[in-house]
A and B are shown apart, each in its own frame.
Chain A
Amino acid sequence: MIADHLFFAGINVLLAWSVYVVLMTGSLSFAQGMFMAVGCYTAGVLTVNFGWSLVPATLMASAFASVVAAVVGWPALRLRGVYLILVTIGITFCGRVLLENFKYVGGVAGFGGMQGATHVTVLVAVALVGAALLLLSRSPLQRTFDAVREDDRVAASLGINVPVVRMIGFASGAFIAATAGSLFGHYMSFVRPESFDILLSVYVVLYVVLGGVNNMWGALIGATVMTLLPEYFRVLAEWRPTVFGLAILLMLLFRPQGLLSFRTLSSRWKVDQRLANLADKP
């Protein structure tokens, strides 16, 4: 059903963007699984047990996830990127174990009763997040992110507080992943902790690698292509990990920046402005 396909593509796009936001600051995060779970379960509890409606529940759950991200990421964000990768992997494992043992939300057996999300909801979320990312790409903050990503020591010498920048990226990524999680839960109606495991996080990172790491469209393309293609080509679906793995290997060997590798300039000096200013000079 096409609605289903659109839905899952949308969820994966949101997850890919959540990785992209962290990647913009030069860090790689594998914690999407965990933050997605936090979003899903928190929003689920709010709607099912407390009667909240979907949108406020999702927003609250996402905000909560960002706070968790800030607290948990703080030790590792100050260190070399490799340590963040390890901590994010660890976060995902710990998250799953904690959820499996948390009887209030069903433990291993899962949590159900969530409803209210449709493919339209997801597409709206995609549009909103996309708009926010677009706004970001035109702002000075994008330049700051790029500086931190490209050379964090030089960025620090320019007065940029690198750990805080990384924190903003990490927390924002968690926010988006949590939103995806909430919508996922309210569409599927029933989830288990095992749906949010490390493999999901790995896949999402690889979507971004495939599509392109330098701009938001790459993540969009990577996620959409890898979600929709297997739906229409059986062979791809059966051999999904191998095909995907091979695609990634080939991409990394020949075009490591991904399919869409451009970076948009956030600021362009307009020539006519300059001429006008020159005219004023003595």
Chain B
Amino acid sequence: MSTLRSLANLLYRRPNLYLALLLVPPLTWFGAIYLGSLLNLLWQGFYTFDDFTMAVTPDLTLGNFAALFNPSNFDIILRTLTMAVAVSLASAVLAFPIAYYMARYTSGKTKAFFYIAVMMPMWASYIVKTYAWTLLLAKGGVAQWFVQQLHLDGLLQAVLAVPGVGGSTLSTSHLGRFMVFVYIWLPFMILPIQAALERLPPSLLQASADLGARPGQTFVQVILPLSIPGIAAGSIFTFSLTLGDFIVPQLVGPPGYFIGSMVYAQQGAIGNMPMAAAFTLVPIVLIAVYLSLVKRLGAFDAL
């Protein structure tokens, strides 16, 4: 008891020691296990992979990173990046009204219902959900049935014929893949926007109306600028999750690799760890570029 007491007193008198004791375990974890393994992986990107013997030798080379700019590899990066941008934009547009309604018009039980409704899809396995979507979007599936009931087959065929968007059916089209991505990442966009709008004092909106702003002006001048940090936070999730995903591109949409599925294929089927490591660097760089852009736009000023 008295040793415990004197230890407590010691920690009280030396707050820095106390802080150090608290921080050592998480910092060790973060530094050694998380950052260490990541750096180790990236380091392997400099190793050499022998195409004939399928062996990895620790001869340092920049060849793997240079290979990223081969037309076929660069195509993969561009395809993934386009999808990530499109998914982030669509998620923001879809999420904003839901988040706005949650933050401004719900309270108590209704708010709890919305939280559960938004998060419930995340409770189910994401592979199961993706498989479910392949069935929903497949030829003769629910989506097609709906389109037929609405007599919009012609429109669907026209959309599916557009190169870069379409495909032979919804489930093998870029559009289908995009829909599944948006569905899966939407909660990650709704919650940060909702949190940002929740912090917006109602008196600011009243002040805007009081000063003569019509609702549309209040939205553009006050609500939107003050919710940008939330949109930025949400888009960091949707953007980086899409960049790294390897399940959806395999199950839905036309053939062709995404960055995630390329990494998976390189290190799994082929055993080319150096090339997989080089590909891993791509999303890290893209997200760093994206973050600095967002920061330059002033999205974090209001934080």
Partners in one complex: no
